[in-house]
Amino acid sequence: MPTAVRAHAKINLGLYIGAPRPDGFHGLATIYQTLELHDVVTVTARRAAANTLKLTSNDLRVPTDDRNTAWKVVERALEAMGLTAEVEIQIEKRLPVQGGLGAGSANAVAALVGLETELGIPTKPGAPSISRTVRNGWESTNPSGMSPDPTDQWESKRLEIAAQVGSDVPLFLIGGTILGTDRGQKVQPLPDIEPTWCVVATPEIAVSTPQAFADWDALCAAGGLTQEASTDKLNELSCAYASAFAGGFGQGAGSSGVLPFRENLAGPTESALVRTGISSWIQNDFERVVFPQHPSLAEIKCILALADPAPGTPEAARDSSALVASLSGSGSALFGLYQTRGDAEAAQARLKNQMAEVRSTLTRTLPRAAYWREMLLKEED
């Protein structure tokens, strides 16, 4: 029986980029956050004498051959497990293609989970423990030196495969709130923020990630930012992120690892993003090169971020209705996080009134436990 898997989107709660490295990549520091918003990937697989892969999609823009990340992960996983199988993958697109939401990478992990389920491959339930250290893009799961559990070996191998296929593929093997460093493939689970209302805007604009990086390189050269200086900056930012989440965020986190709201008797509950001050310094470096090329994206961010000001209100005095508003990845998707559903719906209404052609979706952030609990679709879903 086919296995249907939700492939959840991600956003970047801040994205800091370094100068180009000799290996052609860029160092970065970011917080990934998974969302309830998702594609659906359906996998049918059975063991066979030789490997055959077939991939289809309801979106003609999705590659249906070995260029597809889902194809690549399944192919490498079968090779790593020493198995041969007939595999069919069907991708039902609900997320934008190349929109900065990690859709292709999420599809890849969903296909892997579907393959494991179809072939009966044992894996650890849920996601990696927050207490484990993630190195080189995958986990170090055998600190005692004892003979490793076979499922631990496969957990490590699947993260290694994910890192080889794409920089933001490994995050989807963890879910929730995640620190990403190096080129993004080194991932470390963090205490989750509480489920937070989110509006995702997906304009029909194609942002070229290679071009965005090229423009960033030119900006670094003009500003004299060296690789050494940016590496120091990224290390400092990574430490600051980890400290904020593990320290200020971790206080009061329940056994589930999800950070609760703090009750405010004078009004609505307070978000951990505000309580720790993280929301005040989250930024995405790509905005510095993408917004000049696509000014309408900057307009969308302002609409998501700002409440309707009274006529004549000075710019500095305008209240922000969003906890955070930002470009996700290199775009073109943007998002806003909001204290209440009412705030989020008001932002959607503003966007519809001012830029009716821009599609938006109301969703919420998805903590780690819920990410894994909701990944496999049941018949009643």
- Asked if 39 and 377 touch (Cβ cutoff 8 Å), the reply is no
- For residue 138, is pLDDT > 80? no
Higher pLDDT, 16 or 97: 16
Tell me the pLDDT tens digit for each residue of 152-199: 788 889 999 999 999 999 999 999 999 999 999 999 999 898 899 999
Of the ranges 28-32, 107-111, 372-376, which is most confident? 107-111
pLDDT-based confidence at 139, cuts 50/70/90? very low
- Helix then strand then coil, % of the chain, to nearest 5: 35, 25, 40
Tell me the pLDDT tens digit for each residue of 252-304: 334 344 444 333 333 345 666 766 666 666 789 999 999 999 999 999 999 99
Residue listed under structure tokens 């994910």: 162
pLDDT at 155: 83
How far apart CA 249 and CA 275 sit, in angstroms, is 9
Residue listed under structure tokens 């775009």: 331
Range of lowest pLDDT (25-34, 90-99, 115-124, 249-258): 249-258
Higher pLDDT, 236 or 8: 8
pLDDT exceeding 90 applies to what percent of the chain? 61
Q: How many residues in the chain?
A: 381
pLDDT at 125: 53
Closest CA to 111 of 74, 80, 61: 74
- Mean pLDDT for 107-121 is 96
Mean per-residue pLDDT over the chain, rounded: 83
- For residue 77, is pLDDT > 90? yes
Q: In the numeric block, which tokens belong to residue 1?
A: 């029986």
Range of lowest pLDDT (40-54, 275-289, 331-345): 275-289
- For residue 9, is pLDDT > 50? yes
- For residue 11, is pLDDT > 90? yes
Q: What H or E segment, with its residue span, contains residue 29?
A: strand 26-47
pLDDT at 223: 87
pLDDT at 251: 40
Other Cβ atoms closer than 10 A to 317 = 8
Q: Helices then strands (H, E): number in the chain?
A: 10, 12
Higher pLDDT, 13 or 318: 13
- Mean pLDDT for 305-327 is 67
Higher pLDDT, 301 or 128: 301
Sheet arrangement for strand 197-202: 324-327, 334-338, 197-202, 359-364
How far apart CA 228 and CA 217 sit, in angstroms, is 14
- For residue 318, is pLDDT > 70? no
How far apart CA 284 and CA 322 sit, in angstroms, is 16
pLDDT at 152: 72
Catalytic residue from among 39, 72, 93, 168: 168
Residue type, position 239, single letter? C
The DSSP output letter for 132 is S
pLDDT at 261: 38
pLDDT at 239: 84
Annotated catalytic residue 378: no
Q: Name residues whose C-beta falls within 8 Å of residue 348's C-beta, 6 or more positions apart in sequence.
A: 199, 360, 362
pLDDT at 253: 39
pLDDT at 380: 62
How far apart CA 169 and CA 334 sit, in angstroms, is 20
Range of lowest pLDDT (7-21, 132-146, 197-211): 132-146
Residue type, position 310, single letter? A
Angle between helices 295-305 and 341-354 (to 10 degrees): 140
Annotated catalytic residue 343: no
Tell me the pLDDT tens digit for each residue of 21-45: 988 889 999 999 999 999 999 999 9
Range of lowest pLDDT (230-244, 268-282, 329-343, 363-377): 268-282
- Mean pLDDT for 114-128 is 79
Catalytic residue from among 10, 72, 186, 301: 10
Other Cβ atoms closer than 10 A to 381 = 9
> At 195, is the secondary structure helix, strand, or coil?
coil
CA distances from 307 to 129, 313, 336, 353 (A): 39, 11, 12, 13
Beta bridge partners of 338: 197
By the 10 Å C-beta count (0-12 exposed, 13-18 middle, 19+ buried), 193 is classed as buried
Closest CA to 105 of 73, 57, 83, 75: 73
- Asked if 80 and 149 touch (Cβ cutoff 8 Å), the reply is no
pLDDT at 130: 39
- For residue 104, is pLDDT > 80? yes
Strand 85-92 vs strand 52-57: parallel, antiparallel, or unpaired? parallel
Taken in order 202, 203, 205, 207, the sign of the CA dihedral is negative
